[in-house]
Amino acid sequence: MEKKLILVTNDDGITAPGIKALVNEMQLLGEVVVVAPDSPQSGQGHAITLTQPIRLKKTDIFKGVEAYECTGTPVDCVKLAKNVILKDRKIDLCVSGINHGSNASINIIYSGTMSAAMEASIEGIDSIGFSLLDFSFSADFTASAHFARRIAQEALRNGLKECNLLNVNIPSVPLKDIKGIKVCRQADGNWIEKFQEGEDPRGQKYYWLTGEFVQKKHEEETDLHALENNYVSVVPSDHDLTRHEAIPKLSNFEKIK
């Protein structure tokens, strides 16, 4: 049987421990090709590069794996993989991560990890973003790697039902303490943002973004509730941002002349 082709990318950069853990697991499932940023790109969202050229450089950072580092954003990486590196091949699955830090709730909007996966899903490729709730460079990826392989294996075997994008977050606890997987919805929350003001050595002011995440409602069927109770959260996601139920209720706008 022909091996499944798996595209691996991330937003923390090609040297991040999270992508190494993900590549190791995906090698057990099929042929892996890596296209990832050459430097950290966290918080880039769905940004693409338009004002300067993008460069690709082949690297042997992962033994026995075809891999490229890219000067662009995570979304650029997926676009180049689809249209240049693998343009004549069918990509069976795109996996992004394993991200250092949560992409649950509203964080999906800002996340380069999830935007890379979403870009692949827009191209009709089944895609999964994986994130570990630990921002540390020295985070333990044992549990997240285990679930990444199991979830990716299921996606390759049976496909994704009624969607082609999953946002998967894994609690930062030992594997033995994870209770299982919950398929759930995105929680309602937002960042309360602050800017720390400073002055550089030349006397110019600068601002550094900080903030605190606030969950608006504590509801049991959400990803945040699942994670708080040591479950892996799996949220079926989409790029369609239409609020469909509002369409008939806003019909009065059509009367404006």
Q: pLDDT tens, 69-128?
A: 999 999 999 999 999 999 999 999 999 999 999 999 988 999 999 999 999 999 999 999
Q: Domain segments of the chain: what residues? A: 5-188+218-240
The answer to whether 19 and 8 have CB atoms below 8 angstroms apart is yes
- Which helix (H) or strand (E) segment is 199 a member of? strand 189-199
CATH class of this structure's domain 5-188+218-240: alpha beta
**Half-sphere CA count of 137, side-chain side, radius 13 A:** 5
Q: pLDDT tens, 126-173?
A: 999 999 999 888 899 999 999 999 999 999 999 998 899 999 999 999
More confident site: 251 or 212: 251
pTM of the entire predicted model: 0.92
Beta bridge partners of 170: 132
Beta bridge partners of 197: 207
